[in-house]
Amino acid sequence: MAEELLVHAEGEAFIADTGYDAERIRTNAQKLEMKAVIHPHPSRKQPPPLDRALYRLRYRVECFFHDLKRFRAAATRYDKTATCYLAVLHVASMLLWLR
């Protein structure tokens, strides 16, 4: 799925976990002029360099989504429309930002 989603991605870097460490994914990211920031798999004989500062952002994003799921309305998605659900996400994000 990563290769199909990568076609629609925008940005300067493709940040992914070790499970996405494949040459074809790295090549596709480079074709889209994105920097591949993927932690190398331990079985690689010559691992490519890793930008640790950018890779640390992945951890922050994962922690944000973890905190966001603590809000029951955001985690269970009770809202019927996408607009209402987006409003719940905005309110929850603001509350997280303010703490």
Quick one: tokens of 72? 């029951």
- Residue 73 pLDDT: 83
CA separation for the pair 54, 19 (Å, rounded): 17
pTM: 0.66
What is the per-residue DSSP string for the chain?
-HHHHHTT--SSEEEE-GGG--HHHHHHHHHTT-EEEEPPPTT-SSPPP--HHHHHHHHHHHHHHHHHTTSHHHHHT--SSHHHHHHHHHHHHHHHHH-
pLDDT, tens digit (0-9, with 9 covering 90-100), for 31-85: 999 999 998 999 989 989 888 888 888 888 888 888 988 888 888 888 888 898 8
pLDDT for 95 equals 92
